[in-house]
Structure 1
Amino acid sequence: GFSYFNNQKLKKAYDKEIIVADSLYQAKDYETARNSYRKALSYRPNVPYPSEKIQEINQITGIPIASSDTLQQEIPEEQKPEEISAPRTVAGTLSPEDRQNMYGLFAGAVVGEKEFYTLENDLIKVNLSTLGGRVYSAELKNYTTFDSLPLILFDGDSTVFGFKFFTWDNKPIETNNLYFLPIADGKSMVADNSSRSVSMRLQVEPYKYIEYVYTLEPNSYMVDLDINLVGMKDIFTGNLNSLDLNWEIFLPQQEKGRQNENKYTSIKYKYYQDDVDGFREMSSKDLEEKEITTKVRWLAFKDQFFSSVIIADNYFLNAWVQSQKLPESPKYLRHFRTELGVPFEGKDSEIINLRFYFGP
């Protein structure tokens, strides 16, 4: 029964992503459509339709088509340095009417300008993007890669962090693709003598919004994330008791011995009030995934020596995790994904207290 539930969940996610991708394709927003088809393909790798659409887009946009797996080829393509700064937005191709039809109350957040705000102390430097209001990159300042480059745990437009939900009028919303309004004392904040904070707010109506408040203390690898949900119980579809929080990163190679580093790269998680578990290190599997139906305290994307961890002050209700090896990519070892169930009590105002750990 459980694998049936898992398959049905993946099929629903696939179907929803295909609807979005097809709409973007029809609107000729090919770059964003390709990202959506790739995401759909990750839900159902054996379905040919997303690969066919990606190849069509590649022909239209002039990207050479490789004969091997389309998903594998697309991952490094998106990560070319010259493309990192290009905003992923449908603003240029969707009419105001189309935006309203697709996004409803969130239509105003489809249009915006991608800006970056920095939080740093003596240990870490975190870049925050107004697109998605998310952590765009995380750098460990006292470490370097094997070839003496800055040690960056993850970065780029391919990073995903945000909530996925349906509104009361049945609009599928992914906050990762919407523009947040920044609230900060400046674009570069240094926590040297005291803590510093940056807020990112996704405004729906004057007193209805989702707000991420990032706070960094001096001499700490920990970034506090307080999520304020204000007036959102009237926006979400009825009778919600949890929200899906998605987090995805491409994990870059840091050490000289790629094969050895890959052996010790994995996803780990701690059950609430119980033991640590996760995918087995040195596993030979190219793709692993697991549905966790019990409460989880934290979840870590880890390589041989460093980790990116999301921690709940209380707990996550459940989780789904996936690890995919990227043997064709010269830069990246793995694509890590998780979907976490965040408790929601349906109050007029709620605060979800989370933390990130970026460090050794």
Structure 2
Amino acid sequence: MDRNSAIGLTLIAVLLMAYFYWFAPQPQPASQRPAVTQTPQATSPDTTAQQVTAASDSALAAAYGDLSTFAQGKEDISTIETEDVRISFSNKGGIIKTLELKHYQTYKDFKNERDYDAPSQKNLKLISPDRSRFNLLSKYQGKDIDLYALYYKSEQSKKGDSTVVTFSATLSNGAYLRHTYTIPAKGYEIRYSISQKGLDQDLTSENLTFQWDDQIKPLEKDLQDTRIYTTISYNLPSEGFDELAARSTDTETEAFTGPVKWTAIKQKFFLSSIIAKNNFAGGEITTTHPGADTSVVKYAKIKLLIPKNALADGTEDFKFYVGPNDYQEIGKVTDEFTKNVYLGWPPVYWINKFVIFPVFHLLTKVISNYGLIIIVLVILLKLVLAPLSYRSYLSMAKMKVLKPELDEIKEKHGEDMTKVQQEQLKLYQSVGVNPISGCVPVLLQMPILFAMFYLFPASIELRQQPFLWAEDLSTYDSLIQLPFTIPFGVGDHISLFTLLMTISTLIYTWQNNQLSSVQGPMKSMSYIMPVIFFFVLNSFSAGLTFYYFISNLVTFAQQAIIRRFVDDNKIKVLLEENRKKNAAGNGKKSKFMTKLQDAMKASEEAKRKAEETRKRKK
């Protein structure tokens, strides 16, 4: 700002102040104020209230038509408590106001209870006013209306061991709109129906729009891990199960132009879903990442179309499932609902479904400590896989006996790797050794290794189950807390179980390398891989890394036992006998080795011809 502008602005400010000081209107003295003649009607509070009420009633009648008498009232909350849930209903809208799971807590409440030995008595809430909003939109007598904004008359009754809660809005002509909830004494399913009578002509929209907005709150220790498991899943009768991209940080949307069977707001260990008996007519689902806001996991929005004709036919039946994402529990809910628990791709899925899960759940009925369950599970699987482990170790022992001859071949032929490979194959053929026989048992065990990778992070049974220093086996143990954050997914902690797993894997690798003939980069890579897995698994379930650690320990013991039955001198004698038999033409030739040798010869011949062609061109 230059000097002239500053002087000008100062003068303007002074003039304005002078004006308001000298020329502002002064309040009149009481004796000089004009008298106001007030009639009794103008001053009567009752009359004023009547005028306000009349104006309000007129506005409500214009907005809600015949339903205007239900557009205002007093909210009344009724609570139903079962073995597993506590549900609060509101007569305003006839909706679920709050739903608590009695046997689950958030990580924060669980941690406080353990730290201070004072139960918080705070149940985990999947529906609450601070996170959930419901709307049921339609047109009534040509006007847009939210049927969940009305005040209904509530009634309760018993039907067997279930509680029935009914919310009704009944007009003077006998027409009504009714919401009915049936809550069983046990479980997490709630039956819900919408019915109407005499409102066919007044409800003018073809479909009612059910909307469920959920501001998903953090429930677990690891917010980032929770976010990559949080999404909306759904089932289309024509296409089956699918879900929005859970790992995306963008807004994900899917619109449905055809029937929808169910949708679920899916978190790592919990589901909030609505299922239609006769399908929804269509809809749209959306998830939005909150960015840097750590008070919210994600924003989820469900919009589903309910055909009006279904209400006219009598009732439109639905079912809420709001509870744990437990494979054992959700299998009875509806078609393909168990796919909300991801157990991996085939054949890993089959191994988890038909082998690991049944054994795991059988152990939970016998043993209460989940750390001990994991140890027993490892031992059982190692016993089943013992024959494969024996064959693998025996193959490595044979390679160890042949190692001096293999080293001699490498030294003799130097950098000619083709010649080295040919001579090595001749050696294997002569002594009757298949070099990949040790890999086959390992490959056969890989699906089980991956099955565990999917099993433990998805098992709600491990949630908030402590073992040793780990306070919760479903997430990482953070006994070693760092004052800084390590990149590549490690985080601001060191998981002690992951560290022990990595050290034991390095020791196991070193032992195997003493038996193996592998040299060079491949040998170095075998040591690098466990370190890479440390970075990958440091923030994974403590139950998973504890399983891998115990698996390594049992493998050490298993190899020590096998070593007592595998004598290197006997193996050497056996290989020499095979060499003599093959030299005499009495040995049994391996089809695999023969094919491999033929392939090597063909490769060498092709290489020789290419070299000759190159020389002729010169």
Q: TM-score, normalized by length of structure 1?
A: 0.67
Residue number in structure 1 paired with 2:133: 160
Residue number in structure 2 paired with 1:106: 67
Say yes or no: does 1:258 pair with 2:238: no
Whole-angstrom distance in 2 between the partners of 1:254 and 1:233: 43
Whole-angstrom distance in 2 between the partners of 1:281 and 1:223: 27
CA deviation map 1:273-293 (0-9, x unaligned): 5411120121121x2222111
Would the alpha carbon gap of residues 268 and 347 (structure 1) be closer, same or farther in structure 2, given more than 3 Å must change? closer
Among 168, 185, 190, the residue aligned to 1:218? 185
Whole-angstrom distance in 1 between the partners of 2:246 and 2:312: 44
Among 279, 283, 293, the residue aligned to 2:257? 293
Residue number in structure 2 paired with 1:332: 296
Matched residue pairs, number?
261
**C-alpha deviation, 1:339, in angstroms:** 1.5
Would the alpha carbon gap of residues 157 and 233 (structure 1) be closer, same or farther in structure 2, given more than 3 Å must change? farther
CA deviation map 1:230-278 (0-9, x unaligned): 21202111xx543222222221110011111011110010012541112
Q: Is the 8 A contact 2:195 2:311 kept in 1?
A: no
Q: Which has the higher strand share?
A: 1
Whole-angstrom distance in 2 between the partners of 1:335 and 1:255: 17
Amino acid at match of 1:256: K
**C-alpha deviation, 1:204, in angstroms:** 4.1
Residue number in structure 2 paired with 1:280: 245
Q: Is the 8 A contact 1:241 1:346 kept in 2?
A: no
Q: Is the 8 A contact 2:207 2:307 kept in 1?
A: yes
CA deviation map 1:158-192 (0-9, x unaligned): 63324211123x2110112221211125xxx9x9x
Whole-angstrom distance in 2 between the partners of 1:303 and 1:92: 46
Q: Secondary structure at the match of 1:107?
A: helix
Would the alpha carbon gap of residues 126 and 99 (structure 1) be closer, same or farther in structure 2, given more than 3 Å must change? same
Q: Is the 8 A contact 1:265 1:281 kept in 2?
A: yes
Q: Is the 8 A contact 1:132 1:177 kept in 2?
A: yes
Percentage of matched positions with identical amino acids: 24
Residue number in structure 2 paired with 1:230: 197
Whole-angstrom distance in 1 between the partners of 2:102 and 2:247: 28
**RMSD between superposed Cα atoms in Å:** 2.4
Structure 2 unpaired stretches of 5+: 1-51, 110-121, 325-618
Say yes or no: does 1:242 pair with 2:183: no
Q: Which has the higher helix share?
A: 2
Amino acid at match of 1:107: S
Whole-angstrom distance in 2 between the partners of 1:180 and 1:213: 11
Residue number in structure 2 paired with 1:180: 152
Q: Is the 8 A contact 2:195 2:312 kept in 1?
A: no
Structure 1 unpaired stretches of 5+: 1-90
- The structure having more radius of gyration, on CA atoms, is 2
Would the alpha carbon gap of residues 330 and 208 (structure 1) be closer, same or farther in structure 2, given more than 3 Å must change? farther
**C-alpha deviation, 1:333, in angstroms:** 1.8
Higher relative contact order (CA closer than 8 Å, sequence separation 6+): 1
Q: Is the 8 A contact 1:126 1:135 kept in 2?
A: yes
Among 274, 278, 295, the residue aligned to 1:310? 274
**C-alpha deviation, 1:343, in angstroms:** 2.1
Residues 200-219 of structure 1: matches in 2 within 5 Å? 200-219=167-186
Q: Secondary structure at the match of 2:107?
A: coil
Whole-angstrom distance in 2 between the partners of 1:202 and 1:329: 41
